[in-house]
């Protein structure tokens, strides 16, 4: 606990804050979750009561019309619209409830982007911090540029086709927009939601290990920062770079040892300017493993909380993760030390589809070389400590893994309870394409739970 508490006292790195009087841009990028694929029907279709109205999108949606364009083509028109969740197809047709119901759940149609509710909650927190109920002089605008099914390499600057250009195109259109004539601009943050394709590519991908994935994301950040300065010439500080961890559910091989999740964890705990949001596994999801509309808005509440903690309150978001493991050769016992900056860790039940999961081993497994090692009697033995016994005798210290696909389908049943109350609530809309299984009475009308869930990782046990 002393280790976890010490981290909360670290000085914050120099990142860009929200600037009053300027247009503050929230920039997001990544794969299909950034585009809110399968996130219908839309939920945030009116202005939330807790925020003012000066929150916008370029076009009628916060994303380009076409899923795979290399420029930012706004939906409906290039006008500045109030930020709302909208479902549409690649031809630009807005889909109503009847059209979505005809599709059924889990079609590749966007809707409730997680960053929508996150942006509104960030707005509310910022307004409260400066003692205002509204501020027309400081508009927020959300720009989500993600492309489904793409690896880190495909989303990087210089790739062909160059999906990265959606960022440059969108930012340039905002800079040149008549609505903002005479205004100055600041990119307040970057959110990156990606990694599924790099898990799927496995050893054959361009970033098949922890070091290369970390380096690739840092290069992407550097390129975005350089282009922000080239477009706006505003001399701003680097924006905070937020990461939600990709679930091990989409691993296609165990040989890369959770390289994406481990790299993401190391970025947000070791590299200045990177900040954690949450693992993406705990929320409700459809068969394809994408969140549904509530799942996206649920993740958005985590995002809004993390963004506000950094940009408004000047503190690091809470995080739970395995930081060290030891193996006692004489007894075979494995001890795992967790870091939880929000307090003690307890067991939990994340959502697999629309059913909660309970795992005796909490989603923890082990390997020696290529061989899987079963763990028995896995138990919490302290506020942040887990003990386990390998099922058989080991000759070498094991590699301890949290949240692999073979062992737990990417789920981890460990969390730190949070007292934070989300401003949004779980909602079911009948006859609009939502999975009937999403009609969960225990959740409907209640705020989304914001417990801090344990991040996935592979850590090599030390022999003692």
In this predicted model, what pLDDT tens digit does every residue of 203-240 receive, in sequence order?
Answer: 999 999 999 999 999 999 999 999 999 999 999 999 99
Name 421's Cβ contacts closer than 8 Å, sequence gap at least 6: 447, 450
Helix (H/G/I), strand (E/B), else coil: 214: helix
The predicted structure's pLDDT at residue 10: 65
Q: Is the pLDDT of residue 187 over 90?
A: yes
The predicted structure's pLDDT at residue 196: 97
The predicted structure's pLDDT at residue 7: 53
Question: What's the rounded mean pLDDT across residues 409-423?
Answer: 98
pTM as predicted: 0.97
Q: Is the pLDDT of residue 270 over 60?
A: yes
223-228, long-range: CB < 8 A, 24+ apart = 223/156, 223/157, 223/164, 224/27, 224/29, 224/167, 224/190, 227/157, 227/167, 227/168, 227/171, 228/171, 228/187
- Retrieve residue 128's tokens: 């409260």
Helices 210-232 + 165-175 axis angle, to 10: 20
Q: How far apart are CA 297 and CA 294, in angstroms?
A: 5
Please state which of the four CATH numbers 3.40.50.2000, 1.10.357.10, 3.30.465.10, 3.40.50.1110 is assigned to the domain occupying 15-317.
3.40.50.1110
Q: Is the pLDDT of residue 90 over 60?
A: yes
Q: Is the pLDDT of residue 9 over 70?
A: no
Q: Is the pLDDT of residue 1 over 60?
A: no
The predicted structure's pLDDT at residue 324: 98
Percent of the chain with pLDDT over 70: 98
Q: Is the pLDDT of residue 8 over 70?
A: no
In this predicted model, what pLDDT tens digit does every residue of 129-166 receive, in sequence order?
Answer: 999 999 999 999 999 999 999 999 999 999 999 999 99
> Where does the pLDDT of residue 14 fall: very low under 50, low under 70, confident under 90, or very high at 90 and above?
confident
Q: Locate tokens 């839309």: which residue? A: 42
Residue 14 CB-density burial (10 A; 0-12 exposed, 13-18 middle, 19+ buried) = exposed
The predicted structure's pLDDT at residue 101: 99
CB 372 within 8 A of CB 366: yes
Question: What's the rounded mean pLDDT across residues 79-91?
Answer: 99
Start-to-end C-alpha separation, the chain: 21
Q: Locate tokens 């949606």: which residue? A: 61
The predicted structure's pLDDT at residue 280: 98
Specify which residues 334 forms β-bridges with.
327, 388
Question: What's the rounded mean pLDDT across residues 292-300?
Answer: 99
The predicted structure's pLDDT at residue 281: 98
The predicted structure's pLDDT at residue 250: 85
Q: Is the pLDDT of residue 168 over 70?
A: yes
The domain spans of the chain are 15-317, 322-463
In terms of Cα–Cα distance, which of 298, 296, 246, 295 is closest to 267? 246
Q: How far is CA 128 from CA 15, 124, 131, 225, 444, in A?
A: 21, 6, 5, 29, 28
> Where does the pLDDT of residue 252 fall: very low under 50, low under 70, confident under 90, or very high at 90 and above?
confident
Q: Pairing between strand 185-193 and 452-453?
A: unpaired
> Where does the pLDDT of residue 398 fall: very low under 50, low under 70, confident under 90, or very high at 90 and above?
very high
Question: What's the rounded mean pLDDT across residues 38-63?
Answer: 98
Length of the chain: 464
Percent of the chain with pLDDT over 90: 95
Q: Is the pLDDT of residue 255 over 60?
A: yes
157-160, long-range: CB < 8 A, 24+ apart = 157/220, 157/223, 157/227
């Amino acid at each position: 606990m002393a280790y976890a508490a010490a981290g909360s006292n670290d000085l914050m790195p120099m990142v860009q804050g929200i600037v009053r009087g300027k247009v503050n841009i929230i920039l997001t990028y990544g794969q299909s979750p950034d585009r809110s694929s399968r996130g219908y029907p839309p939920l945030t279709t009116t202005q939330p009561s807790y925020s003012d109205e000066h929150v916008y999108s370029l076009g009628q949606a916060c994303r380009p019309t076409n899923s795979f364009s290399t420029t930012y083509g706004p939906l409906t028109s290039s006008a500045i619209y109030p930020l709302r969740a909208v479902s549409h197809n690649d031809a630009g047709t807005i889909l109503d409830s009847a059209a979505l119901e005809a599709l059924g759940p889990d079609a590749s149609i966007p809707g409730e982007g997680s960053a929508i509710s996150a942006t509104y909650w960030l707005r509310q927190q910022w307004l409260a911090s400066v003692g205002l109920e509204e501020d027309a002089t400081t508009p927020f605008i959300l720009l989500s540029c993600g492309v489904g099914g793409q690896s880190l390499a495909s989303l990087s600057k210089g790739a062909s086709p160059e999906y990265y250009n959606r960022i440059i195109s969108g930012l340039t259109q905002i800079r040149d927009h008549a609505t903002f004539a005479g205004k100055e601009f600041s990119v307040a943050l970057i959110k990156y939601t990606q990694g599924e394709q790099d898990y799927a590519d496995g050893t054959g991908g361009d970033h098949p290990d922890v070091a290369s994935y970390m380096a690739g994301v840092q290069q992407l950040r550097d390129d975005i920062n350089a282009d922000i300065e080239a477009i706006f010439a505003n001399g701003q500080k680097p924006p905070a770079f937020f990461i939600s961890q990709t679930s091990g559910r989409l691993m296609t091989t165990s040989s890369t040892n959770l390289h994406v999740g481990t790299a993401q964890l190391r970025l947000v705990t070791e590299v200045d300017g990177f900040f954690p949001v949450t693992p993406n596994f705990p929320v409700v999801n459809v068969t394809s493993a994408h969140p549904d509309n509530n799942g996206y808005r649920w993740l958005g509440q985590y995002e809004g909380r993390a963004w506000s903690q950094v940009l408004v309150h000047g503190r690091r978001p809470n995080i739970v993760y395995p930081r060290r493991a030891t193996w006692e050769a004489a007894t075979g016992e494995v001890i795992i030390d967790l870091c939880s900056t929000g307090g003690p860790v307890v067991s939990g039940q994340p959502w697999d589809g629309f059913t909660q999961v309970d795992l005796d081993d909490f989603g923890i497994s082990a390997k020696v070389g290529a061989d899987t090692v079963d763990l028995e009697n896995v138990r919490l033995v302290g506020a942040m400590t887990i003990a386990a016994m390998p099922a058989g005798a080991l000759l070498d210290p094991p590699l301890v893994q949290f949240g692999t696909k073979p062992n737990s389908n990417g789920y981890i049943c460990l969390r730190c309870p949070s007292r934070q109350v989300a401003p949004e609530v779980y909602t079911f809309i009948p006859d609009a394409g939502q999975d009937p299984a999403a009609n969960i009475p225990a959740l409907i009308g209640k705020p989304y739970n914001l417990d801090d869930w344990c991040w996935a990782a592979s850590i090599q046990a030390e022999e003692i």
